[in-house]
C-alpha cells in the first residue's frame, strides 16, 4: 500500500524533471530571452501570444522557476497575450461538459493568480473544435475569440475572421501550412530547398493579404509549439535568427504588422460569415481529427477506463484522487498509445513518446488507473 502514501508514486517525476530542465535549457530560457530582446527593440508594436497549461506552470514552479519568472516579465511588458485552455490539457470537451467547464475555470483562476490576467481568447487542447465548444464556453463571459484549425472552415487556409454557428464567438483559423513550414519543415534536409529564409517566408505572408479584398482584414494565424524554438528546431538550424530577421522584415513593411488574437474583436461583426463545425477538428496528424488520441483499441480502452474512474472519484467526493485522475486525463498519455505503423503520423508519435512502444505506454497508464481504482474500492 506504499503506492498511496504519496501522490508522486503514480508519476515518474524524475523523468518529468529531466524533461522540463532539458527543454528549459534548449527552448524556454533562450526563446524567452529572444522575445524579450524583440520587445525591448520594437516596443508595444511587437505582439505574440502564449497558451500555457496549469500542469506546465506547476512543473516550472518546482523545477525551473527562472523560466516562469521570465514568462511573467514578458507578460508584464504588455506585448504578450495569454490564452485560456483546459488546466490539464485534456480531451473532456468531447466527453464530459461538466469536467471540461471545471478545467477551463481552473485554468482561468490560475492565469489570474500567476499572471494577473483573465484571458479573452480560448484555444482548446490541440486546437480541438466543434460547435459544442462554443456552447460550452457560453458560461464564461470573458471568452470572445476561439482558435481553430483552418480545416474547420473546409479550406486549405482561412485568412478571415468568422463567427461561431451560434454567433457567440469569433473564430480565428490557424494557417496550418505556414505554421507547419516552421514547426516541422524548417530544417527538412530531405528537400534541396530545405533552408527557409525569412525573406521568402515574409513574401508568402504578404500573399495572404493580397488574395483578399482590403475590407476583409486578412490575417495569418501562425500557431506552433513553443518548443519549436530551440528544441524541435535546434538553435544550430538558425531558427532564432530566422525569427529575428522575420520580425525586422515585418516591422519595415507597410503591408504587415503583428497582432494579438483578441485584436480581431475590433473588426466589424456584420462583415463576418458564420461557420458550423459539426465534427471535431484538431491540428494533430494528417487526419486533423481525434484519431491521434482515440484511433486504437488501446487508446479507446484507456479513455473509457479513465472516464469510469473519474466518475467514481466524483461520486466518492475524493478530491485527492479526482486531482490524480485529472492529471491522467492529459491528452499526451493517449497520444503515446498511438500505434507505430511506420507512416508519417506514427513517426511523429514515436518522436514525442518517452516509452519504447505504445503497449508500454498503455500498460503503465492502466497500472496507474488500477492503483486509483483500488484506492476507491
Where b means 16+ CB within 10 Å and e means fewer, 315-330 reads eeebeebbebbbbbbb
Instruction: Show the beta-strand stretches assigned E in the chain.
Output: 48-51, 80-83, 121-122, 145-149, 162-164, 170-174, 229-230, 233-234, 274-275
Q: Which among 222, 349, 369, 377 is positioned nearest to 302, based on CA atoms?
A: 369
Please name the residues in contact with 37: beta carbons below 8 A apart, sequence gap of 6 or more.
Answer: none
For the segment 64-77, the average pLDDT, to the nearest whole number, is 96
Q: 77 and 115 in contact (C-beta within 8 Å)?
A: no
Residue 245 falls in which region: left (phi positive, over 0), alpha (psi -120 to 50) or beta: alpha
Q: Which among 345, 341, 337, 342 is positioned nearest to 361, based on CA atoms?
A: 337
pLDDT, position 189: 56
- pTM of this prediction exceeds 0.75: yes
For the segment 23-35, the average pLDDT, to the nearest whole number, is 97
Q: 68 and 28 in contact (C-beta within 8 Å)?
A: no
Q: Has residue 9 got a pLDDT over 80?
A: no
Distance in Å from the first CA to the final CA of the chain: 13
Work out the pLDDT band at 174, boundaries 50, 70, 90.
Answer: very high
Q: Which of 196-210, 272-286, 347-361 has the lowest mean pLDDT?
A: 196-210
What does the pLDDT look like over 201-239, one tens digit per residue? 999 998 876 655 545 568 899 999 999 999 999 999 999
What does the pLDDT look like over 115-172, one tens digit per residue? 999 999 999 999 999 999 999 999 999 999 999 999 877 655 578 899 999 999 999 9
Q: What is the mean pLDDT of the chain?
A: 91
Q: 83 and 121 in contact (C-beta within 8 Å)?
A: yes
For the segment 75-81, the average pLDDT, to the nearest whole number, is 96
pLDDT, position 211: 53
Q: 329 and 91 in contact (C-beta within 8 Å)?
A: yes
Where b means 16+ CB within 10 Å and e means fewer, 37-74 reads ebbeebeeebbbbebbbbbbbebbeebbeebbebbeeb
For the segment 187-199, the average pLDDT, to the nearest whole number, is 71
Q: Has residue 24 got a pLDDT over 90?
A: yes
179 C-beta neighbours (distance < 10 Å), count: 20
Q: Which among 133, 136, 115, 137 is positioned nearest to 50, based on CA atoms?
A: 115
Q: Has residue 70 got a pLDDT over 50?
A: yes
pLDDT, position 53: 97
For the segment 236-257, the average pLDDT, to the nearest whole number, is 95
pLDDT, position 239: 95
Radius of gyration of the chain (CA): 21
Q: What is the DSSP string of 67-104?
A: HHHHHHHHHHTT-EEEEB--TT-B-GGGT-HHHHHHHH
Amino acid at each position: 500500500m506504499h503506492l498511496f502514501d504519496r501522490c508522486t508514486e503514480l508519476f515518474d517525476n524524475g523523468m518529468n524533471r529531466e524533461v522540463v530542465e532539458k527543454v528549459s535549457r534548449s527552448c524556454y530560457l533562450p526563446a524567452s530571452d529572444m522575445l524579450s530582446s524583440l520587445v525591448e527593440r520594437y516596443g508595444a508594436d511587437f505582439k505574440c501570444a502564449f497558451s500555457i497549461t496549469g500542469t506546465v506552470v506547476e512543473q516550472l514552479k518546482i523545477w525551473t522557476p527562472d523560466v516562469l519568472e521570465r514568462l511573467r516579465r514578458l507578460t508584464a511588458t504588455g506585448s504578450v497575450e495569454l490564452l485560456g485552455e483546459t488546466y490539464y490539457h485534456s480531451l473532456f470537451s468531447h466527453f464530459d461538459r461538466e469536467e471540461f467547464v471545471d478545467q477551463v475555470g481552473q485554468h482561468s483562476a490560475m492565469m489570474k493568480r500567476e499572471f494577473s490576467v483573465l484571458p479573452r481568447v480560448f484555444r482548446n487542447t490541440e486546437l480541438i473544435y466543434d460547435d459544442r465548444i462554443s456552447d460550452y464556453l457560453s458560461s464564461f463571459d470573458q471568452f470572445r475569440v476561439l482558435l481553430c484549425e483552418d480545416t474547420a472552415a473546409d479550406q486549405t487556409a482561412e485568412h478571415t475572421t468568422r463567427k461561431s454557428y451560434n454567433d457567440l464567438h469569433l473564430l480565428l483559423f490557424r494557417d496550418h501550412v505556414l505554421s507547419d513550414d516552421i514547426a516541422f519543415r524548417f530544417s527538412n534536409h530531405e528537400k534541396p530547398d530545405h533552408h527557409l529564409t525569412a525573406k521568402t517566408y515574409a513574401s508568402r505572408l504578404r500573399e495572404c493579404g493580397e488574395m483578399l479584398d482590403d475590407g476583409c482584414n486578412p490575417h495569418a494565424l501562425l500557431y506552433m509549439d513553443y518548443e519549436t524554438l530551440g528544441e524541435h528546431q535546434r538553435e544550430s538550424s538558425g531558427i532564432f535568427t530566422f525569427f529575428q530577421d522575420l520580425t525586422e522584415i515585418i516591422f519595415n513593411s507597410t503591408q504587415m504588422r503583428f497582432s494579438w488574437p483578441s485584436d480581431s474583436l475590433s473588426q466589424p461583426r456584420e462583415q463576418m460569415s458564420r461557420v458550423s463545425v459539426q465534427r471535431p477538428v484538431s491540428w494533430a496528424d494528417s487526419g486533423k481529427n481525434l484519431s491521434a488520441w482515440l484511433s486504437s483499441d488501446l487508446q479507446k480502452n484507456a479513455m473509457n477506463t479513465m472516464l469510469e474512474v473519474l466518475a467514481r472519484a466524483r461520486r466518492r467526493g475524493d478530491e485527492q484522487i479526482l486531482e490524480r485522475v485529472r492529471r491522467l486525463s492529459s491528452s499526451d498519455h493517449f497520444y503515446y498509445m498511438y500505434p507505430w505503423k511506420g507512416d508519417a503520423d506514427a513517426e511523429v508519435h514515436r518522436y514525442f513518446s518517452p516509452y519504447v512502444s505504445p503497449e508500454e505506454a498503455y500498460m503503465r497508464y492502466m497500472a496507474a488507473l488500477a492503483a486509483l481504482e483500488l484506492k476507491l474500492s
